[in-house]
Structure 1
Amino acid sequence: MPEGDTVWRQARDLRAVLAGEELISCDFRVPAYATLDLSGETVDAVESRGKHLLMFVGGLVVHSHLSMEGHWDIYPAPTGGRPTRWRKPAFAARVVLVSHLATAVGFSLGKLEVLRKEEVENAVGHLGPDLLGPGWDTDQALLRILADPTRAVGLALLDQRNLAGIGNIYRNELCFLGKVHPAVPVAQVPSLERMIDLAKRLLEANKDRPRRATTGGPAQRDAALWVYGLAGKPCKKCGSIIRHDTMADPEFPLRAARDIYFCPRCQPTL
């Protein structure tokens, strides 16, 4: 599942093969940009902002969001006139960008749009401090979360307007490590600042790893995580059976409720 660390790696890898390079081919496979051709333009920069990815190309910005299933794949430049076989079906491709070094394909992107530079803030200006960005600000993230003290901490952590980069896996793991149920109101969390600092440390620790881990154990699912996806299995700390539920966000009634996992003993509802 793409979270802030995943998008950070995607930006890093795309930057390595596109930044400073001229695009020799460009193919947008969405109706709104089907006629847009950025061939001949130079990719000036590739950046991540929380779970958003921005490519600055010839005065424009290609903005993508991976959502649940999106991914950017990178393939070596074709040799001998033979195209490289993609790892995913062609119908899932939303955009194909080719430089002399590589081909970058955005598959199943949840959002894809092309903006003028002055429009970028309209797309990402609502985001809180970026956990993996150069401007990370713990105090600002804390102030944003505390602005709504009655909101469930599990919803506040997931809200990208408070701090950018936490997805559902980290949300569940942070609540476990903070010893609170996700439904506990922000005002009743005894160690909120510590949870925010821990979020920063976890994403930093995982940003260069191919597989995410929060326990310090092997990067294999049952050993790597404390509670996420482990319903019905014993808690690694107390032995109680981990439970599963769903949690809807009243601020976004059209969004589907998200999964929560928790230990009933380690994470009391207070």
Structure 2
Amino acid sequence: MPEGDTVWRTAHRLHTALAGKPLTVSDLRVPRFATADLTGRTVLDVTPRGKHLLTRVEGDLTLHSHLKMDGAWKVFTADQRWTGGPAHQIRAILGTADRTAVGYRLPVLELLRTADEARVVGHLGPDLLGPDWDPDLALARLLRDPARPLGEALLDQRNLAGIGNVYKSELCFLLGVTPWLPVGALPAGRAAGLPALAKKLLEANRDRPVRTTTGRYARHPGQDLFVYGRARRPCLRCGTPIRGADQGDGSRERPTYWCPACQAGPTP
């Protein structure tokens, strides 16, 4: 599931493959930008911003993409077979002399002036993996609506950018509270440490092929995460069966997991 760590790795992979090289292939397969041609322009950098990807090209142009739930960028050498999905799912192709980046199932893809990037990412809170990270600002934004359930506040990218549904559930477990606990009811000490904990988790996983919050993934397969996706399985800490339910985030219901013994607070 693409969250801040996945997007960071994707940006790093695209930057390594494309940056500093002129594009020899440019194919944007969305109606609005189907006639746009970036061929001959040099890719300047690929930068992650929360869950957004900004591919900057010379001439004050930025290709903005978002992976949402199942989008992906794949990078191939000239002799590799493209394996990201069927051809009809391809939304973008950016190629250089030795690498080709193919965007599959991209729900968001738009070309804009680099000077206008704030239009698509200016609303975001501090980026957990970005140079603008500010834990004090992130905490202040999380606490500005004390009655809001913690899980919803964590998913709101206007508070802090990069947390998705997996980290939401895992952070609440590590804090010892349910995702339905009002933000204002979070004990002061745990609230103060939340931004640092979130940053630590994403930083620890940005270079890993397997996301883990337990540190057990290498020697204990299936124990990568404390609660996410583990409904009815025993809690790794106390043995109580993990529970699951849906929680809204302001736009849709999302599967949420918690341990009824280790986590205090309201539940559905």
TM-score, reference length from structure 1: 0.94
Query: What are the residue-to-residue correspondences of 1:161-176 with 2, within 5 Å?
Result: 161-176=158-173
Residue number in structure 1 paired with 2:96: 99
Query: What are the residue-to-residue correspondences of 1:1-270 with 2, within 5 Å?
Result: 1-58=1-58, 59-78=60-79, 84-87=80-83, 88-190=85-187, 191-219=190-218, 222-249=222-249, 252=250, 255-269=251-265
Unpaired stretches in structure 2, ≥5 consecutive residues:
none
Residues 77 and 99 in structure 1, CA contact (< 8 A), matched pair in contact too: no
Residues 210 and 217 in structure 2, CA contact (< 8 A), matched pair in contact too: no
Task: Give the CA RMSD over aligned residues.
Answer: 1.1
Aligned-residue offset at 1:221: 6.1
What's the CA shift string for 1:110-166, capped at 9, x where partnerless? 200001112100100000000000121100100111111111111011110000000
Aligned-residue offset at 1:101: 2.3
Unpaired stretches in structure 1, ≥5 consecutive residues:
79-83
Letter aligned with residue 245 of structure 2: D
Tell me the distance in 2 between the aligned counterparts of 1:92 and 1:238.
44
Runs ≥4 residues deviating over 4 A: none
Aligned-residue offset at 1:222: 2.5
- Alpha carbons of structure 1 residues 149 and 15: separation in structure 2 relative to 1, 3 Å: same
Tell me the distance in 2 between the aligned counterparts of 1:256 and 1:148.
19
Tell me the distance in 2 between the aligned counterparts of 1:178 and 1:3.
20
Tell me the distance in 1 between the aligned counterparts of 2:193 and 2:221.
25
SS of alignment partner, residue 154 of structure 1: helix
SS of alignment partner, residue 17 of structure 1: helix
Tell me the distance in 1 between the aligned counterparts of 2:195 and 2:261.
22
Letter aligned with residue 262 of structure 1: W
Tell me the distance in 2 between the aligned counterparts of 1:210 and 1:134.
23
Tell me the distance in 2 between the aligned counterparts of 1:128 and 1:201.
17
Letter aligned with residue 72 of structure 1: W
Letter aligned with residue 75 of structure 1: F
Tell me the distance in 1 between the aligned counterparts of 2:199 and 2:107.
25
Matched-pair identity in %: 53
Aligned-residue offset at 1:20: 0.6
SS of alignment partner, residue 41 of structure 1: coil
SS of alignment partner, residue 95 of structure 1: strand
User: What is the aligned residue count?
Assistant: 261
Tell me the distance in 1 between the aligned counterparts of 2:99 and 2:153.
39
SS of alignment partner, residue 223 of structure 2: helix
SS of alignment partner, residue 224 of structure 1: coil
